[in-house]
Amino acid sequence: MIKLCVFDFDSTLMDGETIAFFGQAVGKMDEISAITKRAMAGELDFYESLKERVKFLKGVEVAKIEQIAHSLPFIKGAEQIIKYLKEKGILVAVFSGGFHIATDHAQSLLGFDINFANELHSKNGVLSGEVGGEMMFGDSKGKMLKRLKGLLGLDSKQVAAIGDGANDISMFKEAGTCVAFCANAVLKSAATHIIDIKDLTELKKIL
């Protein structure tokens, strides 16, 4: 029986990549998206690609980024699936290689229980182009899930993980039910289940 369900955020709960939306603010969406695409396909080191993308945001006002973060679109069925899981008594967590400025707001709207992400560094209300946090590396999600399982006394068969990109592989290794959602080929090969319909309520057939 599943007791913990972990979602990726970008392109899993949220319809798109957070940093690409931020890139629109500086006219660098295409450059950022190109790096993101390669990172999610497993072609680039996640840590290096994250730092490279965040550099493009140097000098942008935090208020502008906050405004964008608070208007991000969710994938169809996001609110419904989280409500469904919580009604079943399942703890719902979000692991994001993105940023708390987006995931914290999403938590207040969607009602998941906890989220882990990264922080965009700023000074005097302006982004520095630097980033830090608990989800900086390609294996960060797996390490965090291992810690959560230990804290909650769960084994892998009690855990489900849902994601779309290469940096979700490590958390799949810690879960018994692994769902590749509209995912890259590299993640599909590591999954126990594959959903290619862009509707999160499809998870009800699995969870």
Query: Catalytic site residue 10?
Result: yes
Which one is catalytic: 10, 45, 155, 168?
10
Q: 4: which residues sit within 8 A by CB, 6+ positions away?
A: 90, 91, 93, 148, 149, 152, 154, 158, 159, 160
Query: Catalytic site residue 8?
Result: yes
Burial of 158 (0-12, 13-18, 19+ CB in 10 A): middle
- CB-CB contact of 7 with 165 (8 Å): no
- One-letter amino acid of 68: I
Which one is catalytic: 8, 30, 164, 168?
8
- Residue bearing tokens 């855990």: 159
Rg (CA), the chain: 16
- CA–CA separation, 102 vs 114, rounded Å? 13
Residue numbers annotated as active site:
8, 10
